[in-house]
Structure 1
Amino acid sequence: MAEAEQGFDFGTPPPARSEAGKAAGEGHRARLRARLLTGGAEALADYEVLEYLLFAAIPRGDTKPIAKALIAQFGSLAGVLNADPKALQRVKGVGESSAAALKAVAIAARRMARGAIVGKPVLSSWQALLDYLATDMAHLTVERVRVLYLDARNRLIEDHHVGDGSIDEAAIHPREVIRRAMDLGATAMILVHNHPSGSPEPSRADIHITQRIAEAGRLLGVTVHDHVIIGREGHVSLRAKGLI
């Protein structure tokens, strides 16, 4: 009944053009699948990756225009995957199922990146840590502050979300940060936050609060290994800049 309401006539075969269009669509999906399975990491363009991800939520129809519209709206594949589901659904053709499918991929990517650092000495897995942070934070539209608390072997004890907002003493209190380290039995930490503007270059406030926390940590035997700032344009290490 539902198909009849969509205009299908069960008494006559569908028009030849419709059959040809259906065959072309299935052929396109098959070719895309073959390239995905047999090609390398760059076998598909970003919009084609999205196009393929949308197949599960949109089993019929052309997902290419939707994929291209998503890239245009959010700027990149990463921007799409990190977008809020409600924002995704404002793009024509994207429903709740499509938004959920894309959200699931983003969650999987974060968990894979996190898995590369859990249980390992963070300082010897530095690139894996940066990949995890970039996956999780580079495309946030709000400034987020986190503290990674480490044990004596520099393994991650806790990835603590301190709060959202500019990094200053109104958002992150040196005394509270060090107190949590003591409560957890942490001997070191890495401060992390993102710049939604895209540029990861540190501000005066970033430098000032880092030095305050590092000074407080030294008094109680807690080392601040680094303060990493994440942006869409890359990352900056305050340690590498000689600012800690």
Structure 2
Amino acid sequence: MTKGGGLDDSAAGQPHYHGHRDRLRERFATVGGAGLQDYELLELLLFRLLPRRDTKPIAKAMLERFGSFSEALGAPPHLLEEIEGLGPTAITDLKVILAAAQRIGRDAIQNKPILSSWSEVIDYCKAQMAYETKEQFRILFLDKKNRLIADEVQQTGTVDHTPVYPREVIKRSLELSATALVLVHNHPSGDPAPSSADIQMTRQIAEIAKPLGISLHDHIIIGRSGHASLRGMKLF
């Protein structure tokens, strides 16, 4: 019984967390996602995926294990499986949500001059790559107005190395009639500082591209702790 003499959730046959869910939904409707903590926003997602479970401890366990909302969604499935209460279906659904967020990010830079929406480009690259467990090398191919033609992952490597072949990069640029490029790759270690190999490869691509009328705008390295711009660091 409640203090007012009514039945509490459990006595009424409702799980104890139903009232909590309603209150959290009401808070979201009032203050939006920015007014919620990471575990609360994660709970809201899990409500739909796990309707018959108390999702608060699951959300907190995910954040304790992975560190942040983004890292929790970006964690590889085999590590998500270690969280008690997360099964294959819920994990797949989380990956669908992540893919949807990444698609929104891509749409935000589509049909816009890349150089005039640089912060959105960085946000997009972080969403795509920051939490990958292996290195990926991707290229943003641009037209003469610096609008995105294509975004392609050229190579996937190991935890600390991705083979990149400059002539293959240029060959694909010519196939797409691209006139400018932005190179992007991630460092799974979290530290975005460029290696000597990163710098050398960037210079090689820039040197081959220039006589063909293809500009290399930047090479961005993405890490969980931030990003590095080789152009900004004046390394090519």
Structure-1 residue corresponding to 2:135: 143
What TM-score do the two structures reach when normalised by structure 2? 0.91
Structure 2 residue identity aligned to 1:178: I
Structure-1 residue corresponding to 2:110: 118
Give percent identity, aligned residues only.
50
CA spacing shift, 1:208–1:16, aligned 2, 3 Å = closer
Correspondence list, 1:10-89, <5 A: 18-19=10-11, 22=14, 24-89=16-81
CA spacing shift, 1:21–1:243, aligned 2, 3 Å = farther
Which stretch of structure 1 is more off in the superposition, 219-228 or 90-99? 90-99
Deviating 4+ runs (over 4 angstroms): 166-170
Rg larger for: 1
- Which structure 1 residue ranges, 5 or more long, are not aligned? 1-14
State the Cα distance separating 1:166 from its structure 2 match: 6.6
Structure 1 residue identity aligned to 2:52: R
What is the alpha-carbon distance in structure 2 between the residues aligned to residue 169 and residue 89 of structure 1?
27
Equivalent position SS for 1:182: helix
CA spacing shift, 1:17–1:53, aligned 2, 3 Å = closer
CA spacing shift, 1:240–1:63, aligned 2, 3 Å = same
What is the alpha-carbon distance in structure 2 between the residues aligned to residue 184 and residue 16 of structure 1?
64
Correspondence list, 1:182-221, <5 A: 182-221=174-213
CA spacing shift, 1:223–1:17, aligned 2, 3 Å = closer
CA spacing shift, 1:20–1:68, aligned 2, 3 Å = farther
Structure-2 residue corresponding to 1:164: 156
State the Cα distance separating 1:21 from its structure 2 match: 8.0
What is the alpha-carbon distance in structure 1 between the residues aligned to residue 159 and residue 219 of structure 2?
12
State the Cα distance separating 1:81 from its structure 2 match: 0.6
State the Cα distance separating 1:64 from its structure 2 match: 0.7
Structure-2 residue corresponding to 1:127: 119
